[in-house]
Structure 1
Amino acid sequence: MSEHFFAPCPRGLESALAAELTRLGAAQVSPVESGVGFQGDWPLCYRVNLWSRLASRVLWRIAHGPYQSEEEVYRLARAVDWPSYFDVDQTFAVSTVARRCPLKSLNFVTLRIKDAVCDRFRDTRGRRPNVDTARPAVRLAAFLDATHLTLYLDTSGEALFKRGWRKSKGEAPLKENLAAGILHLTGWQPGVPLLDPMCGSGTFLMEAALMALHIAPGLGRGFAFERLENFDAQAWARLRREAEAECRPRQQLPLWGSDSDAAAVRHARRNFAEAGLAPVVALERKDVLELEAPAAEGVLVTNPPYGERIGDLATLAEFYPRLGSVLKQRFAGWRVFIFTADTRLPGLMRLKPARRTPLYNGPLACRLYEFPMVAGSHRRQR
């Protein structure tokens, strides 16, 4: 039986996620801002949770209807047969998101949905489940637009970008699904040399390694759908066995990472070691301005730690021109991609981007700049 699902994702990756869901077998794929709706059966839901590199979660739609007041929200939520979805001994939590919602308090709306769930359990089971906002067994998501309420059950649990491999974060790590989406936008493919010269804890390199070795990003973690009443353990076990059989042998790959911060390199090495992938990537402590290209051509992708480890705005204004010179002099033949919120970067580097793709790192508006490197200056080339 086909069910309705919604997969949120970082803003700017909706089209890429829609294509990924289609490859995984989803039907009626419909991208909207910050996510993609789709339809499919439960094995598809399991497969998306296991294999999606771009989704943040997979939400299962269980109710949808019009509302005009908090009491109508309560009645719609209470009409759902919650005990058929999860057990009274499991804790739950409700999160609410709204756009153009006419109601005054989202906190009150959330409270009324919690009341509706508990009242339905009390009517059916004689007692109510407990609420745990920190680590609930079951997460409910409510979305309100100007006229309608949609209720979802979260089939993922922890966000899907939490792959389970990151043991050492360092400063302000990039979310894994955003890093995977950026790699997709660069056009990088396994086997193509990849370098991150300001790698931090190694997120770009880890996502590339998982892709190259065909390791499902969710293979090392659990999911909330395993705690739902309709969980099909046999179907899930079969999907996991198939994913494990598709993993390729761990071997050295053309992946290079470096960072001037010794602590960042330690974080990256620990993460690869914990994931059992230490042999696949070359990591070193080195200043980006001292680097040489490790291959004749390839893809360089990085998220400069603007204002974090490099320094203040004045320091960056001095750093960026030097970085531009290094790229022009030493990386001819490479395609360079820089993900940043600092819109001064192309001008200060004295490079004209071939493409600038708007993306969001959480609420922060960013750009992915593409610079094809050629020998000498772009002006002389033209």
Structure 2
Amino acid sequence: MSTYTLIATAAMGLEALVAAEVRNLGYECQTENGKVIFKGDESAIARCNLWLRTADRLKVVVGEFKAKTFDELFEATKALPWEEYLPADAEFPVQGKSVKSTLFSVPDCQAIVKKAIVERLKTKYKVQTWLEETGPLFKIEVALLKDKATLTIDTSGAGLHKRGYRIAQGGAPLKETLAAALVQLTNWHPDRPFVDPFCGSGTIPIEAALIGQNIAPGFNRDFISESWPWLTKDVWDTARLEAEDVANYDQPLDILGADIDHRMVEISRENAVEAGLGDLVQFKQMNVRDFTTAKEYGVIVGNPPYGERLGDRPEVESMYKAMGEVFAPYETWSVYILTSYEGFEACYGKQATKKRKLFNGFIRTDYYQYWGKRPPRNN
């Protein structure tokens, strides 16, 4: 087994959660803006793709170096051991980005990196004419930040938020990675009730069920690196067997997703069935104003409408006010609400115990946390 430098990319505000997941898998790591960096072998690549709930994707770092000229970029790229990653028939498109760097033309940087890799591989594989590129796919990225170039290969393919269960969605779907983060940022335990009163296509309840039964979020999908010759089928089989072994399918769950739109309730049910959780998560049509429960020590997680359009604001403000009144009697319940509406606490009628800045796509939001009374300790 070889050792690789790996980067788990993360949405802004989720780096600490991704780092905790990486450490839980047994790898020491450090965080930077938008990424978590660590070292691991081939099994780490398979395990992290299967298990990281809140990361966007996993990349292998091939090299890092300073580059202020195209010559420097070409020579330093060509000096890297590409033959250790790419077989002779590899298909390898190059993507790029440049931030605050002298080399600001991304298409030029992509073309130079591509040419340098081609030259390296032609020499190493003793190819005279051109490379066929008919084999497995390796998505390469050149990222320039303040004149430092980082060359990576994406091991995930489709983003890690694509779990494979979402067969339908509504107008403004929440990414699965953010939904998992919202659950992880609560005090919920699988033996307590969990309610999402604005479930949309069911993403938050489904992610809660996966967490509750310790099911690997990537268990139901494929990854681009499964076709690579140096990441063997044995490595993936071992990682998937481990995931199967630690899943707790016997853990009973009390999870409810509700939505005012009956069509979204049907979509949620379909998605839960696709995730293999059809019997575990309940869905029903309900207006949040009608919420009532006799249960205790539960958790409510909601991603309600934000009122981004001016015309929607009165309706949204009225709903936030109703939520505050409806949830107030349930002192043992904890409530967690994600919204971009800055006046949320005033409408809700109560200041949050804590709030955390998160980004829902490009929308800056706050996650308002209201902690309920703790359950009595068992003597």
Q: Same fold (TM over 0.5)?
A: yes
Give me the identity figure in percent.
32
**Which one is further off, 111-120 or 58-67?**
111-120
| Partner Cα distance (1:201, 1:300) in 2 | 17
Shift of the alpha carbon at 1:250? 6.2
> Which stretch shows the higher mean deviation, 290-299 or 151-160?
290-299
Residue in structure 1 matched with residue 183 of structure 2 by the alignment:
183
Does residue 127 in structure 1 map to residue 121 in structure 2? no
Report the equivalent of 1:334: 333
Map 1:291-306 onto structure 2 (within 5 A): 291-293=291-293, 295-306=295-306
The worse-fitting range, judged by mean Cα deviation, of 315-324 and 116-125 is 116-125
Q: Structure 1 residues 150 and 167 mapped into 2: Cα distance closer, same or farther (>3 Å)?
A: same
Paired residue for 2:368?
A: 369
Q: How does 1:140-159 map to 2 (within 5 A)?
A: 140-159=140-159
Distance in 2 (CA, whole Å) between partners of 1:304 and 1:282 is 19
SS at match of 1:312: helix
Q: Aligned residue for 2:21?
A: 20
Deviation at 1:258, TM superposition (A): 0.3
Name 2:216's counterpart in structure 1.
Answer: 216
Query: Matched residues in 1 for 2:133 and 2:294: separation?
Result: 56
Contact 2:191–2:252 (Cα < 8 Å) also in 1 = no
- Per-residue CA deviation, residues 194-223 of structure 1 (Å, 9 max, x unaligned), is 100000111111111111222111111111
Which residues in structure 2 correspond to 1:263-278 (within 5 Å)? Answer: 263-278=263-278
Query: 2:106 matched to which residue of 1?
Result: 106
For 2:266 and 2:70, how far apart are their aligned partners in 1?
51
Q: Which residue of 2 aligns with 1:378?
A: none
Q: Residue 58 of structure 1: SS of its match in structure 2?
A: strand
Superposed CA offset, 1:131-163 (max 9, x none): 9xxxx9221122212132110111111111111
Q: 1:250·1:280 contact (CA, 8 Å) conserved in 2?
A: no
Q: Distance in 1 between matches of 2:161 and 2:256?
A: 22
> 1:192 and 2:192 equivalent?
yes
The aligned residue for residue 9 of structure 1 is 10
Evaluate the alpha carbon distance shift between residue 160 and residue 154 of structure 1 in structure 2; reply closer, same or farther with a 3 A threshold.
same
* Counterpart code for 1:354: T
The 5 Å alignment of 1:86-101 reads 86-101=86-101
C-alpha deviation, 1:43, in angstroms: 1.1
Q: By how many angstroms is 1:315 displaced? A: 1.8
Distance 1:273 1:116 in 2: 48
Measured in 2, the distance between the counterparts of 1:281 and 1:311 equals: 34
Which AA in structure 1 matches 2:306? Y
* Residue type at the aligned position of 1:37: I
Query: 2: distance between equivalents of 1:160 and 1:129?
Result: 29
Distance of 1:46 and 1:260 partners within structure 2: 40
Q: How many residue pairs align between the two structures?
A: 369
Letter in 1 for 2:25: L
What's the offset of the Cα at 1:71? Answer: 2.9
Cα distance change, pair 88–172 in 1 and its aligned pair in 2 (3 A): farther
How does 1:193-342 map onto structure 2 within 5 Å? 193-249=193-249, 253-293=253-293, 295-307=295-307, 312-329=312-329, 331-342=330-341
Gapped regions of structure 1 (runs ≥ 5): 375-382
Listed one character per residue, the Cα deviations across residues 4-41 of structure 1 (whole Å, up to 9, x for unaligned) are: 111011211111221211110113x1011111101122
Residue 21 of structure 1 contacts residue 48 of structure 1 at CA under 8 Å; is this kept in 2? yes
Match of 2:344 in 1: 345
2:79 aligned residue: 79
Partner in structure 2 of residue 162 of structure 1: 162
TM-score, with normalisation over the residues of structure 2? 0.90
Which residue of structure 2 lines up, in the alignment, with residue 37 of structure 1?
37
CA distance in 2, matches of 1:301, 1:268: 16
- Kept in 2: contact 1:54–1:180 (CA 8 A): yes
SS of the residue 1:222 aligns to: coil
Cα distance change of structure 1 residues 73 and 362 upon mapping to structure 2, 3 Å threshold: farther
**Match of 1:377?**
none
Whole-angstrom CA distance in 2 between matches of 1:150 and 1:45: 19
Q: Distance in 2 between matches of 1:328 and 1:373?
A: 10
3-state SS of the aligned residue for 1:19? helix
**In 2, Cα distance between the equivalents of 1:2 and 1:90?**
21
Q: Measure, in 2, the Cα distance between the counterparts of 1:51 and 1:262.
A: 32
One-letter identity of the residue aligned with 1:4: T
Query: Matched residue of 1:226: which SS?
Result: helix
1:311–1:269 Cα change, 3 Å: farther
Please give the alpha-carbon distance, in whole angstroms, between the structure 2 residues aligned to 1:311 and 1:137.
47
Asked whether 1:48 is paired with 2:69, we answer no
Structure 2 regions of 5+ residues with no counterpart? Answer: 374-379
- RMSD (CA atoms): 2.4
Match of 1:358? 357
